[in-house]
């Protein structure tokens, strides 16, 4: 059954652990003896209650969250968070600091400005085509929050450690690297992640929010655009995306029970990334595009000597059972997304293919 599956290097939606997909399949027609699939049971049933509560409990254990944090499931993707964050946390007088590290940060800034909110771009890496993460940033002490994108899916850069923002809470878009390593949530007021990169299917965005952030949410917002609506109702004010949440629950179970937690996950991810970057750096046929100290563990971006060779590389890789290696349409080149579910074996097969391709075309 699984021998037709390819080595999937897609950026998102992206690979999920095979055992999770098998569990989805096996549970599909008769979920926990309900005689229904998870897409047919009521979201007000005990069956779904158990799913969402277990998903939340596992996220809290994996990230070692205390009771100050709430785990929410919101629709509209990470893109809706770009708009909800300024809507919920910025008053007319207030302002927020944003660090611009690429396409997604740029969109987050745009969504705040559309609403007439005051946004200060505290640092940007646009001067070098977003190939690095800025350091020694001066933040505004009175900012309502500092917004960063922890991993830049398109440019292949990632914050190795998080900036010191004093008492100002960090709000982070972790769509493409949440759960790739342990996380000290002390600095964060809010973390959000569209599920379809590293923790599940499309259709749901996980939001982790600290209590004090909820205190400032204004009353006069539409219900579906207010974080308090989700925190008050355990993400079930209206019908939640049940299937997506269920799959996220299974991914959290896989992280805890199969992988053994986020320390282990990081160890595996570092091994994978070192193997691939190590090979890319070992010659001059392939060139990594992100600066060394800013490289992403999740999205490895690289170029070949010409665009023709890049096209050929992507085509031949597909024929050899490796998909998703084309860079984002806005930047070109190649990109291997090597999220949690991508195995070390997949990277080994890719590196072997890259060696052979170089020998034939170098």
Ligand X SMILES: *Cc1c(COP(=O)(O)O)cnc(C)c1O
Is-catalytic flag, 47? no
Least spacing, CB of residue 83 vs ligand X, in Å = 11
Candidate residues 197, 210, 272, 326; the one interacting with ligand X per rule CB under 6 A: 197
Interatomic CA distance for residues 75 and 239, integer angstroms: 10
49 is catalytic: no
**In Å, what is the CA distance from 18 to each residue of 135, 161, 247?**
38, 31, 12
Looking at 10, 149, 235, 301, which residue binds ligand X (CB under 6 A)?
Answer: 149
Report the C-alpha gap between 86 and 119 in whole angstroms.
9
- b/e burial code for range 14-25 (CB count within 10 A of at least 16 → b): bbbbeebbebbe
Omega prior to 13 cis, within 30 of 0:
yes
Q: Which is nearer to ligand X, 77 or 321 (CB)?
A: 77
Find the part of the chain contacting ligand X (CB under 6 A) among 27-35, 73-81, 92-100, 307-315.
73-81
The distance of closest approach from Cβ of residue 77 to ligand X in the complex, given in angstroms and rounded to an integer, is: 3
118-124/146-149 β-pairing: unpaired
Question: Smallest distance, Å, CB 110 to ligand X?
Answer: 12
Residue choice 48, 104, 159, 339 for contact with ligand X (CB under 6 A): 104
335 binds ligand X (CB under 6 A): no
Q: Minimal distance in Å, beta carbon 72 to ligand X?
A: 15
Contact present, 237 and 73 (Cβ < 8 Å):
no
| Tokens encoding 109 | 């800034």
- Taking the C-alpha atoms of residue 205 and residue 72, their distance in angstroms, rounded to an integer, is 8
The verdict on 153 binding ligand X (CB under 6 A) reads: yes
How far apart are alpha carbons 274 and 272 in whole angstroms? Answer: 6
Residue 74: strand pairing partners: 205
Q: Which of 47, 97, 104, 326 is catalytic?
A: 104
Nearest to 121 by CA among 110, 129, 132: 110
Among 6, 27, 77, 275, binds ligand X (CB under 6 A): 77
| Residue 58 interacting with ligand X (CB under 6 A) | no
Q: Does the annotation count 104 as an active-site position?
A: yes
Site string for ligand X, 279-318 (x = CB under 6 A): ----------------------------------------
Residue, CB closest to ligand X: 77
Q: Does 79 bind ligand X (CB under 6 A)?
A: yes
Which of 97, 173, 310, 358 is close enough to bind ligand X by CB under 6 A? 173
Give me the numbers of helices (H) and strands (E) for the chain, helices first please: 10, 14
Cβ closer to ligand X: 192 or 357?
192
Strand 7-8 relative to strand 322-323: parallel, antiparallel, unpaired?
parallel
Strands 7-8 and 151-152: unpaired
How far apart CA 341 and CA 252 sit, in angstroms, is 12
> Which is closer to ligand X, CB of 12 or CB of 169?
12
Which residue number, 41 or 172, has a Cβ lying nearer to ligand X? 172
Residues with a known catalytic role: 104, 173, 197
User: Which residues make up the interface to ligand X (CB under 6 A)?
Assistant: 12, 77-79, 104, 149, 153, 173, 175-176, 194, 197
């Amino acid at each position: 059954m699984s021998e037709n599956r390819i080595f999937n290097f897609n950026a998102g939606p992206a690979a999920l652990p095979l055992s999770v997909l098998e569990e989805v399949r096996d549970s599909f027609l008769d979920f926990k003896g309900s005689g229904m699939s998870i897409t047919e049971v009521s979201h007000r049933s005990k069956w779904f209650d158990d799913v969402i509560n277990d998903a939340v409990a596992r996220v809290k254990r994996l990230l070692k969250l205390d009771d100050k944090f709430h785990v929410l499931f919101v629709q509209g993707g990470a893109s809706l968070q770009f708009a909800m964050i300024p809507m919920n946390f910025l008053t007319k007088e207030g302002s927020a600091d944003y660090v611009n590290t690429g396409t997604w940060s740029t969109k987050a800034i745009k969504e705040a400005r559309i609403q007439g909110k005051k946004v200060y771009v505290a640092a940007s890496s646009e001067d070098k085509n977003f190939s690095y993460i800025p350091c020694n940033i001066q933040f505004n002490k009175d900012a309502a929050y500092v917004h960063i994108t922890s991993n830049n899916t398109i440019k292949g850069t990632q914050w190795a450690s998080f900036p010191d923002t004093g008492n100002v809470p960090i709000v982070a878009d972790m769509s493409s690297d949440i759960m790739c390593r342990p996380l000290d949530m002390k600095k964060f007021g809010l973390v959000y992640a569209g599920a379809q990169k590293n923790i599940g299917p499309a259709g749901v965005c996980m939001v982790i929010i600290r209590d004090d952030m909820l205190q400032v949410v204004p009353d006069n917002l539409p219900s579906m655009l207010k974080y308090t609506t989700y925190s008050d109702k355990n993400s079930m004010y209206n019908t939640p995306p049940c299937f997506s949440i269920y799959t996220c629950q299974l991914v959290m179970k896989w992280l805890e029970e199969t992988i053994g937690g986020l320390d282990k996950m990081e160890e595996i991810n570092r091994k994978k990334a070192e193997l691939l970057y190590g090979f890319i750096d070992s010659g001059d046929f392939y060139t990594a595009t992100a600066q060394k100290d800013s490289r992403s563990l999740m999205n490895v971006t690289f170029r070949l000597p010409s665009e023709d060779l890049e096209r050929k590389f992507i085509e031949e890789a597909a024929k050899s059972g490796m998909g998703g290696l084309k860079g984002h349409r806005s930047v070109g080149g190649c990109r291997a997304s090597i999220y949690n579910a991508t195995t070390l074996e997949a990277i080994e097969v890719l590196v072997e293919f890259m060696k052979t391709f170089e020998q034939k075309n170098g």
